[in-house]
Chain A
């Protein structure tokens, strides 16, 4: 039997509690949670207590802990890059970084450099890329990356807490500060956050359909209240629409659609947090529709299983240049969308 892999968590918020601990519990002996770090000592202690792990409030304490073989980075986005780099430099066996991998091109470049130097495998917790329902469609989609001409991502979500609360019993939550809409930087900032926080789940999938994105041009971008966006852009000769709204609805609706002249792919994802199995993909031609999924296994499970296989030397690590390119693509789009929102006259200005 293979030995259980020791995991350390940097950041023990709702994602660690509702997503990763239940996933690792399902994977049984493959992983053991050894150490939990959070800047909030009470959260670190309580979450560590659930898993019978050590706890601390410093990154160094976790990285110095020899029981920690794999580091899962679940802190706020701003800390991801520096913590990925530190974990690689500490010589850990692998790093799983929650999305997004980085928040600037410079951070992405620094990660690429340290990974090349240390050879530590890096995973990004973009669970849709690992989703069996998505992957099954990819395996069958034939020429779709070449022939597709139009892509649409639409995400309608209830508040996260509704899903976190059925995925676990969450200890504490960071309050969501009420935005000051009189500040002109707020809407561009929230649009940027929407791309880097929400659209980011599907941007690697979209990028896998684009021959290039150095020609990316945002046609229109809008922030949608209370939180969301609608962004139209072209890249690699394709027309792309990103749409998202988080509201008080109870009904989630998370879809990715890809159109070619003779083929249409429609993927329906379950919301984050809930462990509701895989996506369901429908690949249609004028003659027939093939349906893939739902499978019981979701993307979170696959990302951890593959990480275990990489640690055990059974699988090649993810291609880091792909991951770095994914985050560069996301940043290019987020920056261009924020610029577009910034340069759109507000309703009052226009009046």
Chain B
């Protein structure tokens, strides 16, 4: 089976005009220890870096590097091209009384800390950063957590491990008279996400986009490049905040159950 990192590499072949010189793009696999690999990559002044599916390890040095280097974080759910439309739909109805369910199904081999980080990155893309996070329950196969975004939207996180269905993520916000729901299939194919808004007049399925999240990440890299982004490390800074929140919440939970 291909790794996500290989999938992103092969996605380069689908953007031949945007990236006439694919060799200029460096891929850093988000396995533990990735900050060292990233630092190394940044040192070689590449045209762009894609950090693929990072595990939550804390890092500081890469943030001190030249901000002209563009680093894009490729994340299984947040990189889906539907998150742009989803952000508009969710933000249009979210209030400080809202609760959003964020549920993911993952492969049994996927560790909870990475799965939780992926959820935080998704919520940041759709609603805003999660500033408070509390892990409520962890078993061998299930994790429940509760969070709050910077605009006080409550989030109920759940992670379930199984091989019986493909990995997927689902976000749902129930409103007084309807709902907004986003279902994202596993990011490695172009199977589209479904964004459905329900209101008094009916249900609307947003136009589906048959583009894999990895290709969408690469397009973003290209756009940042073309725009001459002054801050190529913005993704990394957001990632760091989400890593800190994730590891702190898991650490607190471990300490509370150890006692």
Interface of A with B (CB < 8 Å)?
A: 149-150, 152, 156, 219-220, 224-226, 230, 232, 234, 239, 241, 243, 245, 247-251, 259-264, 284-286
Which chain A residues border B156 with CB–CB below 8 Å?
230
Judge whether B136 and A250 touch: CB under 8 Å: no
| B164–A150 touching, CB < 8 Å | no
Contact string against A for B residues 125-167, beta-carbon threshold 8 Å, 1 for contact and 0 otherwise: 0000000000011011110101000000000101011111100
Considering the chains assembled together, what is the distance between the CA atoms of A165 and B22 in angstroms? 63
B176 & A248 in contact (Cβ 8 Å cutoff) = yes
Q: Give the contacting residue for B198; candidates A243, A251, A262; CB below 8 A.
A: A251
Are A239 and B137 interface neighbours, CB within 8 A? yes
Residue of B nearest to A257 (CB): B160
- Nearest Cβ in chain A — how far from B153, in angstroms? 14
Q: A249-B178, A251-B179, A264-B162 are in contact. Are A234 and B139 (CB under 8 A)?
A: yes
Residue pair A224, B136 in contact (C-beta under 8 Å): no
Report the bound CA distance from A263 to B139 in whole Å.
18
With CB as the reference atom, state the residue of chain A lying closest to B154.
Answer: A222
Give the residue of B158, B164, B174, B203 whose beta carbon is less than 8 angstroms from that of A245: B174
Q: Which residues of B contact A152 (CB under 8 A)?
A: 158
**B164 contacts A239, CB within 8 Å?**
no
Given A243-B101, A261-B162, A264-B164, decide whether A149 and B177 contact each other with a Cβ distance below 8 A.
no
Is there contact, CB below 8 Å, between B203 and A251?
yes
Main secondary structure of the interface of B (DSSP, over half): strand
Q: Is the CB of A261 within 8 A of B137?
A: no
Closest to A282 in B: B165
Cα A224 to Cα B161 with chains together (Å): 27
A241 in complex: contacting residue of B108, B144, B162, CB < 8 Å: B144
Supplied contacts A259-B141, A259-B162, 16 more A-B pairs, CB within 8 Å: A149-B141, A156-B179, A219-B136, A220-B136, A220-B144, A220-B146, A224-B99, A232-B136, A239-B142, A239-B144, A249-B177, A250-B198, A251-B198, A263-B162, A264-B162, A264-B165
Partner of A260, one of B144, B146, B164, B177: B164
Q: A156 contacts which chain B residues (CB < 8 A)?
A: 174, 179
Q: Which residues of B contact A264 (CB under 8 A)?
A: 162, 164-165
Contact status A247-B203, CB under 8 Å:
no
Distance A243 CA – B156 CA, assembled complex (angstroms):
11
Residue of A nearest to B202 (CB): A250
> Which residue of B139, B160, B174 is within 8 Å of A247 (Cβ)?
B174
Task: Let me know if B200 is at the binding interface, CB within 8 A.
Answer: yes
Report how far A264 CA is from B160 CA in the complex, Å: 11
Contact A251 B178 (CB under 8 A): yes
Whole-angstrom CA separation of A46 from B162 in the bound complex: 54
* CB nearest neighbor in B for A287: B164
Q: A150-B160, A261-B162, A284-B164 are in contact. Are A219 and B144 (CB under 8 A)?
A: yes
In the complex, residue of chain A having the shortest beta-carbon distance to the beta carbon of B156: A230
Contact of B162 among A239, A243, A260 (CB under 8 A): A260
Least Cβ distance of B132 to chain A in Å? 12
The CA of A219 and the CA of B144, in the complex, are separated in Å by 10
Q: Which chain B residues lie closer than 8 Å to A284 at the CB level?
A: 164-165
Which single member of B163, B177, B203 contacts A261 (CB below 8 Å)? B163
Interface size of B in residues (CB-CB distance below 8 Å): 30
Q: Does B229 contact A (CB under 8 A)?
A: no
Question: For the complex, is B18 an interface residue (Cβ under 8 Å from A)?
Answer: no
Known contacts A261-B163, A264-B162; decide if A247 and B175 are in contact (CB<8 Å): yes
Contacts A219-B137, A232-B144 given; indicate if A262 touches B163 (C-beta within 8 A): yes
Asked whether A262 and B162 contact (CB < 8 A) given A248-B177, A249-B179, the answer is yes
From the candidates B140, B164, B177, name the one contacting A286 in the complex (CB within 8 A).
B164
Residues on the A chain within 8 Å of B203, using CB: 251
Cβ of A59 to closest chain B Cβ, rounded Å = 41
Given A220-B146, A247-B174, do A239 and B198 touch, yes or no (CB 8 Å)? no
Chain A residues, Cβ within 8 Å of B164: 259-264, 284-286
Q: How far is the CB of B233 from chain A (nearest CB, A)?
A: 36
Q: Are B174 and A249 neighbours in the complex by a CB distance under 8 Å?
A: yes
Nearest residue (CB) in A for B162 is: A259
Q: A-B pairs with the 7 shortest C-beta distances? A: A239-B142, A264-B164, A248-B177, A149-B141, A150-B142, A219-B137, A150-B160
- Residues of chain A within 8 A (CB-CB) of B175 are 247, 249
Chain B residues in 8 Å Cβ range of A286: 163-165
Q: A residues within 8 A CB of B144? A: 219-220, 232, 239, 241
Q: Is the CB of B158 within 8 A of A241?
A: yes
Which of chain A's residues have a CB closer than 8 A to the CB of B174?
Answer: 156, 245, 247, 249
How far is A285 from B158 in the complex, measured between Cα atoms in Å? 21
| A241 / chain B contacts, CB cutoff of 8 Å | 144, 158
A149 and B136 contact, CB distance less than 8 A: no
Min CB–CB distance B169 → chain A (angstroms): 15
- Give A284 to B146 CA distance when docked, in angstroms: 28
Complex interface: chain A residues within 8 A of B163 (CB): 261-262, 286
Closest Cβ–Cβ distance, residue A333 to chain B (whole Å): 16
Asked if A259 and B160 make an inter-chain contact with CB atoms under 8 angstroms apart, the answer reads yes
- A239 CA / B146 CA spacing, docked (Å): 16
Which of A234, A247, A261 lies in contact with B176, CB distance below 8 A?
Answer: A247
- CB neighbours (8 Å) of B178 from chain A are 249-251
List the B side residues contacting A285 at CB < 8 Å: 164
Q: What's the least CB distance linking A210 to chain B, in Å?
A: 14
